[in-house]
Amino acid sequence: MLSVDAVSRSFGDRQVLKDVSFQVGAGRMTGFVGANGAGKTTTMRIMLGVLGADSGEVRWQDRPLTPAIRQRFGYMPEERGLYPKMTVADQIVYLGRLHGMTATAARRSTDALLERLSLTDRGGDLVEKLSLGNQQRVQIAAALVHDPEVLVLDEPFSGLDPLAVDVVVSVLRDRAAAGAPVLFSSHQLDVVERLCDDLVIIADGTIRAAGSRQQLRADHASPRFRIEVDTDAGWLRDQPGVALIDLDGASAVFDLASDADDQEVLRAALARGAVRAFGPVSPSLTEIFREVNQ
């Protein structure tokens, strides 16, 4: 388990991280979301040791991080960068070797990754000759070449086409399945929602919510229901304990007062005719995100 423990950091007078603590569990895909400037990148840089923390520390398996441990981390910085005048394969092999791989191991791993990312036939091309999307794939390969024990990826999906997103997602899932903690930030909440097991939400340099996706949903679920009937659902307006949120002919979304019984509403609906659908609505990540950001 990778844990961030009460980390604070200021730039000049501006405190960008205040007592930030959260965990990334082994084998878990953890989404890290927050508005621009909330402190995601700073947190990730501190985790990788690119930036120092003013106080607090980052621990891996209950030990403070050392450069030797960090060598086994895979990192994809927000600001992407590769040597433009180096070939794709040489570049990835070089980065693998900087992480302590032997030349043969680095080459083998590079070949496998390029294959996986459908870049095999571009291995000999200079990076500057690639399209942005392909450069992005190379960047992913650069983070994964040394078979890292921990992955920290800052916006790994930005700039990727949907097909590439799927490829990257499957690669990351494999890593998580192999037991690596995977932390990734993203603006695309729908991607995070689809992908993550756990979620950490940061705003203004403080952690607003953290936990498993189901847990967060349950925590932030208001007693909201959706119903679909055959005729007009306008009668719900007069049903005791029901606050209508949205009414569209035969379907409606409503909140239920805490002392009201959902089965009561269902019986009332059945008394009026056929019910096609009835059930609780769990909040989307976007809604949770909005809520904790307020």
Q: Which of 148, 283 has the CB closer to another protein?
A: 148
In the complex, least distance from residue 76 CB atom to another protein, rounded to whole angstroms: 8
In the complex, least distance from residue 182 CB atom to another protein, rounded to whole angstroms: 16
Q: Find residue 278's DSSP bridge partners.
A: 227
Contact between 159 and another protein by CB under 8 A: the answer reads no
Choosing from 36, 67, 238, 246, the residue that interacts with another protein (CB under 8 A) is 67
Contact between 60 and another protein by CB under 8 A: the answer reads no
Count residues binding another protein (CB under 8 A): 28
Contact between 225 and another protein by CB under 8 A: the answer reads no
In the complex, least distance from residue 11 CB atom to another protein, rounded to whole angstroms: 10
Contact between 79 and another protein by CB under 8 A: the answer reads yes
Find how far residue 171's CA is from the centre of its chain.
Answer: 14
Choosing from 24, 65, 82, 176, the residue that interacts with another protein (CB under 8 A) is 82
Choosing from 80, 108, 187, 224, the residue that interacts with another protein (CB under 8 A) is 80
Nearest to 219 by CA among 228, 231, 227, 211: 211
Amino acid at 262: D
Contact between 105 and another protein by CB under 8 A: the answer reads no
User: Residue 21 and residue 206: Cα distance in Å, rounded?
Assistant: 9
- Determine contact, residues 209/201, Cβ cutoff 8 Å: yes
Contact between 32 and another protein by CB under 8 A: the answer reads no
Choosing from 61, 83, 237, 280, the residue that interacts with another protein (CB under 8 A) is 83
Contact between 71 and another protein by CB under 8 A: the answer reads yes
Contact between 81 and another protein by CB under 8 A: the answer reads yes
Q: Which of 134, 193 has the CB closer to another protein?
A: 134
Looking from the CA of 19 toward its CB, the CA atoms found within 13 Å total: 1
From the list 96-104, 108-116, 206-214, 264-272, the region that binds another protein by CB under 8 A is 96-104
Q: Give Cβ neighbours of residue 286 (< 8 Å, ≥ 6 apart).
A: 189, 190
In the complex, least distance from residue 58 CB atom to another protein, rounded to whole angstroms: 13
Contact between 157 and another protein by CB under 8 A: the answer reads no
- Determine contact, residues 249/232, Cβ cutoff 8 Å: yes
Contact between 252 and another protein by CB under 8 A: the answer reads no
Tell me which residues touch another protein (CB under 8 A): 45, 48-52, 67, 70-71, 73, 75, 77, 79-86, 94-95, 97-100, 142-143
